[in-house]
Chain A
Amino acid sequence: MRKLAVLFFTVLLHSLTGQSLPAVQEQKSAKDSIYFEDRVQPIFKRKCIGCHNATDLDGGLDLSNRRAILAGGDSGMVLPKGQQQESQDELAHQKSSLRGLLWKKIQAKEMPPEDSPPLNASELNGIQTWLETGAAFRGDAGSASVTAERIIPLLHLRCGKCHGATQQEGNLDLRTLEGVLKGGQSGPAAIAGKAAESLMIQRIDHGEMPPKKRIVPDSVKSMTDAELELLRQWVDDGFPAAPVRQLKRRFSSIDREFWAFQPPQRPRLPVVGKMSQAENPIDGFLLARLERSGLDFSHRLSRQKLIRRLSFDLRGLPPDPDEVASFMADTRSDALEHLVDRMLLSPAVGENWATLWLDAVGYADSEGGQNEDRVRPNMWRYRDYVIQAFSEDKPISQFFVEQLAGDELHDYQKPGIAMDEEVYGALVATGFLRTTPDRTFQNITNFVPDRLDVIADEIQVLGSSMLGLTVHCARCHTHKFDPLSQLDYFRMAAVLKDGFDEHDWLKPENRNLTIPVDQLSPSLPGTIRAGATEKEISIRALWSRGRPSPTFLLRRGNHLTPGPLVQPGVPEILQDPLKAPGELPWHSLSHRSPKTGRRLAFAKWLTNPDHPLTSRVFVNRIWDRLFGHGIVATLDNFGKTGAPPTHPDLLDWLSVEFVEGHWSLKQILRTMVLSHAYQQVSEVSQESKKADPDNRLYSRMPLKRMRAETVRDSILAVTGQLSNARGGPPIQVVEKENGLILASELLGGGWCRSVYVIHRRTKIPTLLDSFDYPQMGPNCVVRKNSIVPQQALHLTNNQLVQSWCQSLANEVASHPGSFDQQMELLFYRVLARGLEQNELVELKKVDSILRAQWRQHLGLESDDDVVRIRALTNICHSLINSAGFLYID
């Protein structure tokens, strides 16, 4: 008993200190005599080994021998955990898991799969009895030897920091067998068959390597006893090479039939009864569905409301009163087209639509992860890049390629290369892969698992923003619902590897490319020189370093349990079925440089016109922002757990139209807003409420609340405070003593649009925060639309909001006209509409009451300017707080 307790304790300690457990199953087999080799192996040979062998390795699992079975598969251990690992109480709680994952799969009839011969009753009984009596093995007979497949990742993990890509201490490079044999200053690191005499084994065994006091400064942990044992075996066995694995296709053509994995096809336009209502094909597709439900479009919005809606949707700002007047007076039949075209030229469009993408990528100006929340000083260049790309209507395909592989597009290191808009923009664009929270700037949170978390977040961002798939779910196991394997995840990790290498890590402060100022083309805007030292500017970027470490699949996503080597590639299900599984369609670099070109190849594959997801995912995002919900409601997830498209034909038409229109954002926006569907009223009729309660059929437009940035920007605009300063380093925030966080005023007075305010994760301006400005974790898929008292408290009680209203009141009061005219002006300014007669009556009444109160309060006999302005400020303040201002019909 005592002995058992000691064993129990040591095992626990091992597991606590991150050491992997020695195989313990055999120890308890003494009292039982059911052995794997006698009873179970024959069954496995008949029914399981066909797929779960060392070559095919389905699900990462090999069931042919003891060691392989104990190693488990992609989903982790398949046998029940040894009793030694857990207390009795926990066991009692986990009775169901007593027989382990293997049994779970068998019991659920998931294994063997449908198309294979099932297990019969006696076979089931055999396996069950074996598992229940402790899953014993006779011994090591038939077990595979330790190969380079297990050792190379181990050497990278434990030794690579000082004997790897960046440093070769003692002239020793331990990344490859060749390096081990060649050795360093003291001779070969290991001698075949002689582990005990091998220098590296001795050094590790004596606790000299890694030096214990260097563990934190170098962010490297020492090798565990179990790992050292593996290394010994490998050396003693004479360095067995990794087995050759032939990758089988994991998914079938049936998996591929799912709608989102089929390239979009230009659909035939439907014939509908009310063809006259259709402004363009969008309306045809929508009407076809509406007519099937006995519904029709709602009627068109008045021009006055339409221009307000367009202005907010396109520019994120209210229309100018003059603009409203001239649109109302424009009698041309294509007045609307003219208006839309004029609006689309505004730089405000880029600022407004950039937030769509900045949400999707999780843009932030600070690292997060650590209390310090260190500022990312050059991230703003990426924000300006996105705004600029949308402003100049850069093809979205190019926009994507630059973000994924801008550094591989141009040979920016070539001496004397001109740093023009194209090259500068492409380098800045790679900031796309630098957005997520990142605590690795501190040594203590810069170990391999910390780095893997950062990479996982970036893959999540890439998956949700561009691919529309939850690829990140496949980090630890094959995706539960979609045909995405763990291999697919690590293929993508390998694509990113030469920019993102957990064994050759660049800490956040080292992620800047510096460009000499004299290399900057004069055509570049002046703002980009902001923050420059005298001689150079810094760009936060990701770049190919030309020496990626090999990528190994990590079982259960755990860096301590590496699996087979994985090549860079694309998710198998999205790939040309004639190619080898996951193969990356190569795209050669246009220049000679040491870059691997992996990301460029991936980007070219992603932006291929036939790609089933890229264009669909993007147009759906645009649609969502205009129409209130996506054709696919789950913007980031087009997989099986995502919502199916409500209008698949429309989605395909939009995608094809978008791609054929050279991936133009503005063109597709124009098409959407010129549809009848977009021009419908947002009023809900009894009929459409009943037949289309959630507006999935688009029988009307949604009544939309302003987004966080729009609230702030619009208040600034209508009160005359909004500056048109654009771009450059972010506007700082100040935190008041009571915790209120405010964006700073510009030096010359006025305030910038919210997109230019610093997005520091722990210091989000209070006004934006209360109106659902997102916390990026790691990105924002859908903006919330909450209604909370904090919003009312801010807009009614905040001093700054009130002072802006006072400025508006001053301006209105200075207008030479009558009170009626002043009110008309105010209404146009704030609500983009004129006054109704009854409103005027009420305003007059409330104005006179307010004036009387202020007179009394200020102790004045008659109305002077102060009283009039005070009363008018109250009126302005009410309008800013009103639903008529904050909501868009």
Chain B
Amino acid sequence: MLTQEATKDHRRGFLSTVASGLKTAALCHLFQGELQGFQETATNIANSGLPSHPPEAKSVIHLFMNGGPSQMDLFDPKEALTKHHGKEHFSKIANEVEFPAAAGALMKSPFRFKRHGESGMWVSEVMPYFSKMVDDVSLIRSMHTTNLTHEPAIYKIQSGVEFEGKPVLGSWITYALGSENENLPAYVVMDDPRGLPVNGVDNWQAGFLPPNFQGVRFRGTGTPVLNLKKGFEEPDSITQIERSFLESFDKRHAGKRPFQPKLAARLKSYQLAAKMQIAATDALDLSKETSATKKMYGMDRSVSESYGRRCLIARRLIERGVRFVQLFIDSQIWDNHANIGKSLKEACERTDQPIAGLLADLKQRGLWDQTLVVWGGEIGRLPIAQLSEDKDPAKSGRDHNKNAMVSWFAGAGIQKGKLLGKTDELGFAAVENRVSVEDWHATILNRMGIHHDHLFYPRNGLNEKLTGVTSPRVISEILT
């Protein structure tokens, strides 16, 4: 443990960083520095060694495809499924099925596949826009997780464990690196106006980390942040008078209480709140975007307008220095238990063009090399059919699968046109270059300049880490 003197200097260092308007970790440490007790003090010091190595990316955009996109209907075609279509297989995988009563036989994909780009990656017909981007991404077909149910699997991919209460990926990253823009939150979440994802607000909880590392929910329309605008009628001039009266009152209070940095931090937080009102409103103002840009994001079509808007705002946010942006879709559009030929296609129609547009836009604006884009869900799907009540094959879908799922990475420090990993011949389980959720986390941290063992928070007698007590491996094959 460092001496108390060193701790104090450390704290003061951050305060002066803020005062001079400098960037990065300022915001978080300003608020964190005043926490009491040895634990937090130790934490400051623990993470002061970050970044562990020069970062490749400044920001992350996480396109979270909650629900469980079907790997064998999107990126991982399986001839064996066509060949053995209709053959009984359930008894071999009975322990791995969520709805055994509805389990059917092996089922071929209802979609046609083609190879695309120079890399020759297979993509099915339901993702026409992404097909054109395959040479820009690294696609991983060999991910797996530990629980086949949405809730625990979502907790796992967000926070590393199957339960609520632990900080999520975005919280860890912003805790480590702070924000590049002190007028905007470091970790912004854009959920779907149609509704919250499964696990609701738990998806962006800071757990035991200080709550300023919690994701701040931005709405795509209307007031972007809770309480950002006055909820009552009052002319701005009067608000301004009240604000300056409060400030002078607070300053007098602080003046009588020397050596209480938390009072200075509090004053600062009121100023930040005022600045955030302007900065957040500006970030969400799409009136300055051209119609060509909006079209690129699919905002001219009603099916993709909503997700396209969120993708475009995501770009505007990372342009402004937001560290971690996470986009959600309402409920579970990828959870295609039934009628997969139709429901999966619809999920793609909502997201395919917006995502391809985002990638293209990042490239054309020179943001590619500083932004890490990650696409993926929390589980994959089974090679056997899940039958509808009337057993009509046309209405079949697929049940959950924890043994194989897909994800792709793009942008800063990521190889282009790289395909990694294999599943078995039926697509049931990843067998080659298997990538665990911990590996996936470690890789994202790595691109941000963080070694997964260097980022921790002492609590309950343990240095808590995103990757826990595991020894994950960074997926070096997809890195530049």
Interface residues of A (CB under 8 A from B): 9, 12-13, 16-18, 87, 89-90, 93-94, 97, 207, 212-217, 221-222, 368-371, 373, 437, 439, 442, 444-445, 453, 457, 460, 464, 470, 472-473, 481-482, 628-629, 633-634, 636-637, 639, 641-643, 682-684, 686, 689, 693-694, 696, 702-703, 705, 738-740, 761-762, 766, 769-770, 772, 775-778, 781-782, 784-794, 796-800, 802-803, 842, 846, 849-850, 853-854, 857, 874-875, 877-879, 881-884, 887
Contact = CB atoms under 8 A, between A and B. Distances in A.
7 contacts: A94-B471, A371-B200, A683-B257, A686-B259, A738-B223, A857-B238, A882-B253
Given A777-B166, A797-B231, A849-B241, 16 more contacts: A12-B429, A370-B151, A445-B147, A472-B460, A633-B39, A738-B219, A738-B226, A775-B205, A777-B163, A778-B163, A787-B31, A798-B227, A799-B231, A853-B237, A853-B238, A857-B235
Contacts of B198: 371
Contacts of A693: 4-5, 7-8
A361 to B, nearest CB: 14
B95 A887 contact: no
A207 B93 CA distance: 12
- The 9 A-B pairs of least Cβ separation, nearest first, read A777-B165, A799-B231, A470-B461, A792-B273, A684-B259, A789-B273, A212-B94, A793-B227, A371-B198
A778 B161 CA distance: 13
Interface of B: 4-5, 7-8, 30-32, 34-39, 41, 90-91, 93-101, 103, 144, 147-152, 162-166, 198-202, 205-208, 210-212, 216-217, 219, 222-223, 225-232, 235, 237-238, 241-243, 245-246, 248-250, 253-254, 257-260, 262-263, 265-266, 269-270, 272-273, 276, 403, 424, 429, 431-434, 459-462, 471, 473, 477
Contacts of A740: 226-227
A439 B165 CA distance: 14
Contacts of A794: 226-227
Interface centre among B93, B212, B230, B250 (most CB of A within 10 A): B212
A797 B229 contact: yes
Contacts of B97: 215-216
B164 A777 contact: yes
A469 to B, nearest CB: 8
B242 A884 contact: no
A445 B200 CA distance: 18
Given A439-B152, A787-B262, A16 B403 contact: yes
A684 B91 CA distance: 72
A470 B460 contact: yes
Contacts of A772: 210-211
A796 to B, nearest CB: 7
A874 B212 CA distance: 28
Contact of A882 (B162, B200, B219, B250): B250
A644 to B, nearest CB: 10
Given A473-B462, A874-B241, A883-B263, A9 B222 contact: no
A642 B206 CA distance: 23
Given A633-B37, A794-B227, A470 B207 contact: no
B473 A883 contact: no
Contacts of B148: 444
A437 B253 CA distance: 42
B322 to A, nearest CB: 15
Nearest to B32: A786
B424 to A, nearest CB: 7
Given A793-B225, A878-B245, A850 B238 contact: yes
B83 to A, nearest CB: 18
A216 B99 contact: yes
A882 B249 CA distance: 7
A219 to B, nearest CB: 12
B93 A796 contact: no
Nearest to B154: A371
Contact of A369 (B151, B257, B461, B477): B151
Contacts of B246: 878, 881-882
Nearest to B155: A369
A864 B30 CA distance: 45
Contacts of B223: 738
Contacts of A878: 242, 245-246, 249
B151 A797 contact: no
A789 B127 CA distance: 41
Contact of B270 (A368, A639, A792, A854): A792
Given A641-B461, A683-B257, A789-B269, A87 B151 contact: no
A628 B36 contact: yes
A778 B459 CA distance: 13
A847 to B, nearest CB: 10
Nearest to A803: B232
Contacts of B210: 772, 784, 786
Contact of B429 (A13, A369, A633, A784): A13
Contacts of B424: 9, 13
A696 B166 CA distance: 30
B260 A790 contact: no
Interface centre among B31, B211, B217, B243 (most CB of A within 10 A): B211
B265 A787 contact: yes
Nearest to A682: B257
Contacts of A370: 151
A629 to B, nearest CB: 5
Contacts of A846: 241, 245
Given A694-B7, A775-B205, A215 B95 contact: yes
Nearest to A642: B461
A797 B266 contact: no
A762 B202 contact: yes
Contacts of A90: 434, 473
Contacts of A214: 100
B460 to A, nearest CB: 6
A213 B101 contact: yes
Contacts of B8: 693
Contacts of A788: 31, 211-212, 269
B104 to A, nearest CB: 13
Nearest to A636: B460
Contact of B149 (A444, A849, A877): A444
Given A793-B273, A850-B241, A887 B263 contact: yes
Contacts of B433: 87, 89
Contacts of B206: 775
A854 B241 CA distance: 11
Nearest to A453: B163
A775 B95 contact: no
Given A371-B200, A788-B212, A739 B217 contact: yes
A786 B152 CA distance: 29
A684 B260 contact: yes
A797 B260 contact: no
Contacts of B5: 693
Interface centre among A16, A97, A464, A761 (most CB of B within 10 A): A16
B477 A89 contact: yes
A229 B319 CA distance: 60
A628 B36 CA distance: 8
B150 A371 contact: yes
Nearest to B258: A684
Nearest to A771: B211
Given A222-B95, A683-B257, A693-B4, A790 B249 contact: no
Contacts of B243: 796
Contact of B100 (A213, A639, A683): A213
Contacts of A472: 460
Given A445-B151, A799-B231, A12 B276 contact: no
A799 B234 CA distance: 11
Given A371-B200, A775-B165, A798-B231, A207 B91 contact: yes
Nearest to B462: A473
A885 to B, nearest CB: 10
Contacts of A883: 250, 253-254, 263, 266
Nearest to B472: A93
